[in-house]
Amino acid sequence: MRPSQAPFPATRLRRLRATPALRALVQETTLSPADFIWPVFVRDGEGQVEPIASMPGVNRLSVDKVVEAARDAHGLGIPAICLFPYTDPALKTADCAEAWNPENLSNRATRAIKDAVPDIAIMTDVALDPYNIDGHDGFVEDGAVVNDRTVEALVRQTLSQARAGADIIGPSDMMDGRIGAMRAGLEGEGFHDVTILSYAAKYASAFYGPFRDAVGASGALKGDKKTYQMNPGNSDEAMRLIERDLSEGADMIMVKPGMPYLDICRRARDMFGAPTFAYQVSGEYAMITGAAERGWIDGEKTMMESLQGFKRAGCDGVLTYFAPAAARLLNG
Ligand code: PBG
């Protein structure tokens, strides 16, 4: 027992849990819509809202619908939206050139949102997997995902996103040296204020399954991503990766997935004090919504409890598919 606590019955910890008012008064961490970054899936066409079977309640949206989503999010007090394109399989190539096409889906959506909802921050995804015939985040040569040639392509992709108006660049590829190269590229073109939220500690996880369906990468992926994404058994390595990415010019860092890695979030926050985010990934979302649909758990309550956990673990914010639903609840 700590010296500041008198022995029972002078100390009865239940006193502070006795009423809603007292519980609210001593709550240590709170959730707000400003804590959320909302990931959305973009598809081509117009007026399209296409459900994703493994993510109940999440849709692939055409650009006009993404603009509506951004407007709703802004109205709810959500500060940022994150774009993931569902790329036409015919546009997937070995050289991944669609990744830096100024007219690709991600860039078109970015410009359209910037025009219509200029105050919401736009985060974009840097990685080659939506554009790669192999489904990998980097170029594959002789069966191996090569690092340095991939980094050059990621810089091109970064610059095309910055030119389209992205505010937050989100490299999710886990190549070495990419943050420094991207930062140099951005500074070189005068994008001094474009921020980088590095997926610094991204684990090779089975929780990404529904996402790969959502962006149409499941069928394409050959093998696994274990030579670049982290081993789930490691924690010290995550600290080395985060330190490295901050030293190369990342403004914010992310731990991914979220719920099975809350220890990593806490450690990162305590060790570096940099803005720290967790990605509550597609599989986490599917577990909660799937169980709720069957009536096995209360969907709203588990959603809020799962999000609260990220704040308690030290995160400044969460990328979550629940963002609009949770914001609506928080706004009453
Ligand atoms: C790929 C990428 C993935 C996610 C975000 N970017 C999947 C992967 O690494 O295979 C996963 C997000 C989620 O599961 O919600 N660059």
Q: Whose CA is nearest to atom 2 of ligand 1?
A: 172
Distance (Å, rounded) from C-alpha 28 to C-alpha 269? 16
Would you call 256 a catalytic residue per the annotation? yes
CA atoms within 13 A on the CB side of 108: 19
Residue 127, ligand 1, Cβ within 6 A: yes
In sequence order, the β-bridge partners of residue 124 are 83, 169
Q: For residue 208, how far is its CA from the centre of ligand 1 (angstroms)? A: 6
pLDDT in tens, 143-171: 999 999 999 999 999 999 999 999 999 99
C-alpha–C-alpha distance, residues 145 and 142, integer Å: 8
- pLDDT 10s digits, 184-225: 999 999 999 999 999 999 999 999 999 988 887 777 788 899
Q: Is 202 designated active site?
A: yes
Residue 172 CA: which ligand 1 atom is closest? Answer: 16
Q: What is the CA radius of gyration of the chain?
A: 21
Does 257 sit behind a cis peptide bond, omega within 30 degrees of 0 on the bond before it?
Answer: yes
Q: Is residue 307 lining ligand 1, measured as CB closer than 6 Å?
A: no
Ligand 1 site-directed mutation target among 124, 131, 172, 282, most atoms within 8 Å of CB: 172
Q: How many Cβ atoms are within 10 Å of 199's Cβ, its own excluded?
A: 24
The per-residue b/e assignment along 138-166, b for 16 or more CB within 10 angstroms, e otherwise, is bbbeeeebebeebbebbbebbbbbbebbb
Nearest to 109 by CA among 99, 122, 120: 122
Helix, strand, coil share (%) of the chain residues, nearest 5: 45, 20, 40
Nearest CA to ligand 1 atom 11: 208
Distance CA 66, CA 296 (A): 32
Residue among 92, 126, 129, 319 whose CB has most ligand 1 atoms within 8 A, to mutate: 129
- Please give the single-letter amino acid code of residue 56: P
User: Which residue ranges in the chain fall short of pLDDT 70?
Assistant: 1-2
The whole-number pLDDT of residue 95 equals 95
CA atoms within 13 A on the CB side of 75: 9
Confidence (pTM): 0.97
Q: Is 82 near ligand 1, meaning CB less than 6 Å away?
A: no
What is the 8-class DSSP label of residue 16? G
pLDDT of residue 1: 57
